[in-house]
Amino acid sequence: MSDNFGKRKRGGKRDRGTPRLPIRRPPSEEPAPLEHLTQEEYERKKTDILRRAVLAESQYIALRTQLRDNKFREAREYKANVAAGTDPELLAAKREAEDALSKKLDINQAKYELKMAQILDEYEAETAMNETQHEDKYVYAKGRYIDFFKELIAEKEKREREVGMLLGAYLTLPPLGNETTEKPVFKDVVFKGRHTRSRSKSQKQDDESVPQSLN
């Protein structure tokens, strides 16, 4: 419950809120007393009221007819001006539409130019990057090609040296024994103390001359 209820219950004073203004009522209008008319005055007044009503109706019909004629005339003039293109409202609306269209076209043109500039920048950057990559790939491929041929030449030289060494080793070997070329190895006619496969002619002659001298 509110504190005001507790105060009232305990005998406290009630808080006064917003003071209420007194309501003013308009004074009552008393109806005007009826006028006592004779029959002649009544008929005359009735005729006057009817005449005013007929006149008001005639004026209303005339004003309505004039208003309709004015509307028809304005419609014909508007139609003719629209067909000729000289209507002020049409020209104003056309100018407003052209201004709005011009602003919109300017905005679209600016957006288009910005977009095309962005696309051109991206294309140039992509082209430059591709050219750089192509040059890098070309340099890399050229280096690999040169390295390959260097390795190939080195391998060829190495094999030539190996072949030369093998040929030299083969050339330094003594010839093998053959029945048609020389005598077999370690025959009885071989000089004592000699361990070669063959003997030279001078040595053979010396060996042959030694036994003759002994005889």
What tens digit of pLDDT does each residue of 115-134 get?
A: 999 999 998 888 888 778 77
Of 147, 144, 167, 166, nearest to 155 (Cα)? Answer: 147
pLDDT, tens digit, 9 for 90 and up, residues 150-189: 888 989 888 888 887 877 766 666 666 566 555 555 444 5
Alpha-carbon distance of 79 to 71, in angstroms, equals: 12
Structure tokens at 209: 């001359």
> What's the CA angle centered on 74, arms 92 and 65, to 5 degrees?
150
Contact of 15 with 4, CB cutoff 8 Å: yes
- Say if residues 14 and 2 touch (Cβ distance below 8 Å): no
Banded pLDDT at 101 (limits 50, 70, 90): very high
Of 28-32, 63-67, 143-147, 196-200, give the lowest mean pLDDT range. Answer: 196-200
Contact call for residues 177 and 183 (beta carbons, < 8 A) = yes
Q: How does pLDDT run across 54-98, given as a tens digit for each residue?
A: 999 999 999 999 999 999 998 888 888 888 878 788 888 889 999
d(CA 122, CA 114): 12
Between 111 and 137, the more confident residue is 111
Buried (b) or exposed (e) across 93-108, using 16+ Cβ within 10 A? eeeeeeeeeeeeeeee
For residue 4, how many other CB atoms are within 10 A of its CB? Answer: 13
d(Cα 33, Cα 107) in Å, to the nearest integer?
78
